[in-house]
Amino acid sequence: MKFIPHTEKDIEEMLHEIGISSIDELFEDIPEEIKLKRDLNLPPPLNELELKNEIDEILSLNLKLKRIFLGGGAYFHFIPATVNYVLSRGEFYTSYTPYQPELSQGILQALFEFQSILSDLTHADVTNSSMYDGATSLVEAIFMAERIKKRGKVLVSRSLNPEYNEVLKTYLPPREITLDYIDFNENGEVPLEKLKEKVKEGYSSFVIQSPNYFGIIENLKEIGKILKESDTLFILTITEGISLGILKPPFDFGVDILAMEGQSFGIPLSFGGPYLGILQTKKEYIREIPGRIIGETKDRNGKRAYVMTLRAREQDIKRDKATSNICTNNSLNALAALVYLSTLGPSGFKKVAEINYKKAHYLAKRLIDEGFELKFKNLKFFNEFVLKLNIEPIRLKEKLSLVGIEGGIPLRYFGLDDSYLFTVTEMNSREDIELLVCALKEG
């Protein structure tokens, strides 16, 4: 528990510093008629020990589930102690607008290295210094494509994360950008022949997620060829960044813009955020990328220095010339991602990805051996897959909760009423997996 005391002397000094003599004077601009003139309706004060015991009692009511088989865009991964150690340093944790170059060389260097390590990972020419989250990064990617192609419509794969899809439905219509969709096939992936015909209708961009929402790894190589032939920009979104540990860098397949969620890189699950948006593109589109880009240079004495080299924001240039109204980035979470990836290193990162892949395929095989059926016969999935189950979602949740398991996202959004998405990460032991299999077998 944090304790920040304000003594009477502290308060007196602060009031003196701003030139007033009392707290009442501080709030004199508030009309008297709306001021509360009685004590708050609160129970009697507690001493520190009593307060701690009461909070512990309330927290004990929480159901603590450690066997998590949920994914779908937010993943349960191990976070090395180094991440929170570095993040908790005062110069990082408490800084506000931490980008004044003469004051914040350390933060600028961290963001520069964040950009560099992410570009190395995906083979992107350009990475900005982060955005809010994966979904809003995807929106900005589509806006970028519209500024480049100006065709007023985007084609989206139906296997996109449904929450991302809802964000697109919120952001795009006011900008008069039409959304169109292409369904997944019986293997759970985009049908290439159908895509080839569809893109002839003249879209600014095609959006696809890989691994897609069903965990399936799409054929990015062939998709890249189709989009290049049709002069359609290739926007890829990734929600599970750990997959990059074993998959080929996406820009090798002709991706034009990459919008990714970085939560898997050292950021905990926490009711949906704050997470980390990663936006990358090719060098030829650098003038269209929103947010900030940090660059390395030398000062007049020849010493290495870091500066903002590009920030086409409303705050800095004419509104009609701005690429976005994005005013900030997620510096602290970008730092978390940098420390996470640096701690693991290339070999450690690859090993985590391999563990995720192998454990997920192990669970799928165990379930198939026990007579269960995967929705899609395609086994090109990373760390999550779709399982057919004839059970109501509430019943499945109740049954798994009895053995401390949280898992199985119902897929009714996609019209797959008999299907659930299961995810396996390095956090799931073999015992967890066997317990899940047993629980499902009991029906």
Look at residue 183 and tell me whether its pLDDT is greater than 90: yes
Task: Say how many residues make up the chain.
Answer: 443
Residue 403 contacts by C-beta under 8 Å, 6 or more apart in sequence? 67, 435, 438, 439
Bond preceding residue 249 cis, omega within 30 of 0: no
Q: What is the 3-state secondary structure (H, E, C) of 84-98?
A: HHHHCCHHHHCCCCC
Look at residue 272 and tell me whether its pLDDT is greater than 90: no
Residue 221 contacts by C-beta under 8 Å, 6 or more apart in sequence? 253
Question: What is the structure's pLDDT at 96?
Answer: 65
* Percent of the chain whose pLDDT exceeds 70: 94
pLDDT tens for each residue of 308-328: 888 776 666 776 777 776 666
- Going by C-alpha positions, the residue among 330, 340, 335 that lies closest to residue 136 is 330
Question: What is the structure's pLDDT at 313?
Answer: 67
Handedness of CA 210, 216, 221, 222 (dihedral sign): negative
Look at residue 173 and tell me whether its pLDDT is greater than 70: yes
Name residue, tokens 């993943």.
75
Handedness of CA 384, 385, 386, 390 (dihedral sign): negative
**Two tokens at 352?**
């985590």
pLDDT tens for each residue of 123-134: 999 999 999 999
**Two tokens at 283?**
């060098």
**Two tokens at 236?**
């890829």
Query: Average of pLDDT values for 283-296?
Result: 92
Residue 399 contacts by C-beta under 8 Å, 6 or more apart in sequence? 391, 439, 442
Cβ atoms < 10 Å from Cβ of 352: 18
Look at residue 438 and tell me whether its pLDDT is greater than 80: yes
Q: Of the ranges 162-166, 168-172, 292-296, 324-328, which one carries the lowest mean pLDDT score?
A: 324-328
Q: Of the ranges 169-183, 292-306, 323-337, which one carries the lowest mean pLDDT score?
A: 323-337
pLDDT tens for each residue of 409-426: 999 999 999 999 999 999
> Residue 164: which H helix or E strand, with range?
helix 162-171
Cβ atoms < 10 Å from Cβ of 79: 15
Question: What is the structure's pLDDT at 104?
Answer: 81
